[in-house]
Amino acid sequence: MRILHTSDWHLGRSFHREDLLAAQAAFVDHLVETVRAEKVDLVLVSGDVYDRALPAVDAVRLFDDTLGRLKGLARVVLIAGNHDSVHRLGFGSALMDDAGVHVRTDFSTVGEPVVVGDAAVYGVPYLEPELVRHPWDLDERSHAATLAEAMRRVRADAAHRGPGVRSVVLAHAFVTGGEASESERDISVGGSSHVPASVFEGVDYAALGHLHGRWSITDRVRYSGSPLAYSFSEERHVKGSWLIDLRDDGLSAEFVEAPVPRRVARIRGRIEDLLTDARFEQYEDRWLQVTLTDRRRPSAAMERVRRRFPHALVLGFEPEGGGTDGSRTWSERVRERSELDIAGDFVAEVTDGPASGAERALLHEAFEHCRRKEALT
């Protein structure tokens, strides 16, 4: 069986106000042509089809067109990610099953596979720990516990299908061994976010989504990453999909690179050097994050930078010799900090004292309520 594994399309997302829908449509063209040319039997989309729970109309149209083009070429199985609305993405899923497009968004059906040839394909959508802990009677509120229970159900079903049936799993989670970029939404508020790769032991292939870089956690557990760069931290990523051959004697994997609409990069230096030095010519057609290191902030800096680099999108200022937090952007100051920590800082700022244990507990409850509400939207 030949499988194409892709994920994290984030249809409808922009990049620092740059509309990416045309680039996403170009990726879809590439995807469909790859499925046709490589005679793919099964397409797996491991979550985050959309960038938000209520996607824009143009994003929905593109997704509808994508499924219409794929259904005549291969079977399609896709799951909901943490950005997707399980109800909106899952609408009409029972009807789409008859067309060979299988949308899995309901956590209660994770042990019920889609059978494609000699493979049982189990869709495990993003599992919000607080939403599944009580229905599944779990003692621990964590992503590891919820995914372990999901895989227990998968293995229970697979055990009854005989040795000749392959097991393929789609999951949307942060599995240990991959690295996050700046463009994934943090999922740690819903419990400890990391999941050990051992949870997928015994599975013939686990197609993961959530992380935007391609990662081979093991030979049989992989992230395809997002098809486009959604942050400047992804400037060295190679984007695309995994082409997987499941054979009687094992598995082979080939990475199929996706088209690059415009490369992203980060450059830094004094403004005069950036505007005159020939070694920066290679960046003139890229989307750029520019950091100026002049001792004094240059006047009309972005206007001057864009004369040479018309696609500069972000301008920062870090004077030589160091600076204070006041010279750093908001995103730089809060990077790698949880929502709870940021909210705690706000409480400390307005009350002249750190948040008490009761206040932090109330903030945590508020974040959990918002997360549950979004997941049910």
Cα separation, 13 vs 331, whole angstroms: 18
Residue 175 confidence (pLDDT): 94
At the second CATH level, the architecture of 2-257 is 4-Layer Sandwich (3.60)
Q: Is 276 left (phi over 0), alpha (psi -120 to 50) or beta?
A: alpha
Mean pLDDT of 292-317: 96
Q: Average model confidence (pLDDT) for the chain?
A: 91
Q: What mean pLDDT is predicted for residues 300-316?
A: 97
Alpha carbon 266 to chain centroid, angstroms:
21
Q: Count how many residues are written for the chain.
A: 377
Residue 14 region by backbone torsions, left for phi larger than 0, else alpha for psi between -120 and 50, else beta? beta
**340 pLDDT above the threshold of 80:** no
CA distance 194 to 64: 33
**What are the CA-CA distances from residue 303 to residues 17, 31, 308 (Å)?**
17, 38, 10
Banded model confidence at residue 185, pLDDT cuts 50, 70, 90: confident
pTM summary value: 0.85
pLDDT at 373 over 70: no
* Spatial contact of 112 and 156, defined as CB atoms under 8 Å apart: no
209 backbone dihedrals φ, ψ, rounded to 5°: -135, 165
Query: Terminus-to-terminus CA distance in the chain, angstroms?
Result: 36
Evaluate if residue 191 carries a pLDDT over 90: no
Q: Give the span between the Cα atoms of 88 and 56, in whole angstroms.
A: 12
Residue 204 has pLDDT above 70, yes or no: yes
> Measured at the alpha carbon of residue 76, what is the angle toward residues 60 and 263, in degrees to the nearest 5?
60
pLDDT above 70: percentage of residues in the chain:
90
Q: Is the pLDDT of residue 303 over 70?
A: yes
pLDDT at 238: 97
E strands along 204-307, which residues? 205-209, 215-218, 221-223, 240-247, 250-257, 264-269, 287-292
| Helix-then-strand count for the chain, H and E | 11, 19
- At residue 375, the pLDDT reads 57
What is the structure's pLDDT at 350?
Answer: 65
Instruction: Please give the Cα distance from 234 to 357 (Å, whole number).
Output: 37
For tokens 């290679």, name the residue.
282
What's the mean pLDDT in 78-88? 96
pLDDT tens-digit map of 261-288: 999 999 999 999 999 999 999 999 999 9
Q: Spell out the residues 6+ positions from residue 273 whose beta carbon is closer than 8 angstroms to its own.
A: 280
Q: What are phi and psi of 20, to 5 degrees?
A: -105, 5
Q: Is the pLDDT of residue 305 over 70?
A: yes
CA distances for 357 relative to 37, 266, 347, angstroms: 59, 40, 12
Burial (CB < 10 A; 0-12, 13-18, 19+), residue 24, is buried
* Percent of the chain residues past pLDDT 90, beyond the cut: 76
Give φ, ψ of 195 to 5 degrees.
-125, 130
**Banded model confidence at residue 255, pLDDT cuts 50, 70, 90:** very high
Cα separation, 33 vs 367, in Å, equals 42
Residue 235 has pLDDT above 80, yes or no: yes
